[in-house]
Amino acid sequence: MSAGGRCGVGDRRVACPPPRVTAPPPRPRAAGPPPRVVRRRTDLTALCAATAFFWLSLTPSLVPRPWVLQGVVGGITAAVGYAAGATVSGLVRAVVPWRPRAEARRALRVRARQAYWLLSPALTGWLIAESAQMQRRLRRLQGLPPSLTWHTVMIALFAVALCALLLLAARLVRLGARWLIRALGGWLPRPVAVGAGLALTAVVVTVGLRDVVFDRGVVDAADRIAAATDRGTKDGITRPASPYVSGGPGSLVRWQDLGYQGRNFTGTAPTRRSLTAFTGRPAKDPVRVYVSSRLPRAFAGGADEDAPFRAQARLAVRELERTGAFTREVLAVAGTTGSGWIDSNVAQSLEYLHGGDTAIVAVQYSYLPSWVSFLVDKEKAGKATRALVDAVRARLDALPPGDRPKLVVTGESLGAYAVEASYGSVEALLAGTDGGLLLGTPHFSPVARQVREERDAGSPVWRPQYRGGLHVRVAQFPAVDLRRPAAGPWARPRLVYLQNASDPIVWWSPDLLFERPEWMDEPLGPDVTPEINWFPVVAFWQTTVDMAVSYGVQAPHGHRYGSAAVDGWAAVVPPEGWTEQDTRRLRAYIAGRKTPY
Using 50, 70 and 90 to split pLDDT, how confident is the model at 94? confident
In degrees, rounded to 5, the angle at the alpha carbon of residue 170 between the alpha carbons of residues 168 and 176 is: 100
Phi first, then psi, for residue 523 (nearest 5°) are -80, 145
Q: What is the mean pLDDT of residues 319-338?
A: 97
What span, in angstroms and rounded, lies between the C-alpha atoms of 136 and 148?
Answer: 7
Segment 521-532 shows an average pLDDT of 96
pLDDT value at position 140? Answer: 94
More reliable by pLDDT, 205 or 404: 404
Burial class (CB in 10 A: 0-12, 13-18, 19+), 73: buried
d(CA 495, CA 483): 13
Find out whether 487 and 542 touch, Cβ atoms under 8 Å. Answer: no
CA distance readout (Å), 449 to 410, 421, 441, 444: 17, 12, 9, 7
By percentage, how much of the chain surpasses pLDDT 90? 69
Helix count and strand count (H, E) for the chain: 21, 9
Average confidence (pLDDT) over 389-399: 97
- The pLDDT tens digits of the residues spanning 254-285 come to 999 999 999 999 999 999 999 999 999 999 99
Any idea what the Cα angle at residue 556 is, between residues 554 and 561, rounded to 5°? 90
Q: Sorting pLDDT into bands at 50, 70 and 90, what band is 327?
A: very high
> Which helix or strand (DSSP H or E) is residue 538 part of?
helix 538-548
Give me the pLDDT at residue 12, please.
52
Residue 436 β-bridge partners: 409, 495
Half-sphere exposure of 234 (CA within 13 A, CB side): 14
**Do 301 and 317 meet the contact criterion of CB atoms below 8 Å apart?**
no
pLDDT of residue 29: 45
Mean pLDDT, the chain, rounded, equals: 89
Q: Where does the pLDDT of residue 31 fall: very low under 50, low under 70, confident under 90, or very high at 90 and above? A: very low
Residue 13 binned pLDDT confidence (cut-offs 50, 70, 90)? low
CA atoms within 13 A on the CB side of 230: 22
Distances 501 to 142, 521, 523, 525 between C-alpha atoms, Å: 11, 12, 11, 5
Q: Confidence band (pLDDT; 50, 70, 90) for 302?
A: low
132-180 tens-digit pLDDT: 999 999 999 999 998 888 888 999 999 999 999 999 999 999 899 899 8
Is the pLDDT at 365 greater than 60, yes or no? yes
Contact 352, 275 (CB under 8 A): yes
Instruction: Give this prediction's pTM.
Output: 0.87
Residue spans of beta strands (DSSP E) within 48-145: none
Query: What residues does 14 pair with on adjacent strands?
Result: 7
Residue 186 confidence (pLDDT): 83
Would you state the pLDDT for residue 481? 96
Confidence of residue 303 (pLDDT cuts 50, 70, 90): low
Judge whether residue 426 has pLDDT over 70.
Answer: yes
Task: Categorize the per-residue pLDDT at 25 as very low, low, confident or very high, splitting at 50, 70 and 90.
Answer: low
- Mean pLDDT, residues 345-370 taken together: 94
Other C-beta atoms closer than 10 Å to the C-beta of 403 total: 9
For residue range 202-237, list pLDDT tens digits in order. Answer: 888 888 877 777 767 777 777 788 778 888 889 889
- Annotate 179-228 with DSSP letters as a single string: HHHHHHTTTS-HHHHHHHHHHHHHHHHHHIIIIIIIIIIIIHHHHHHHHH
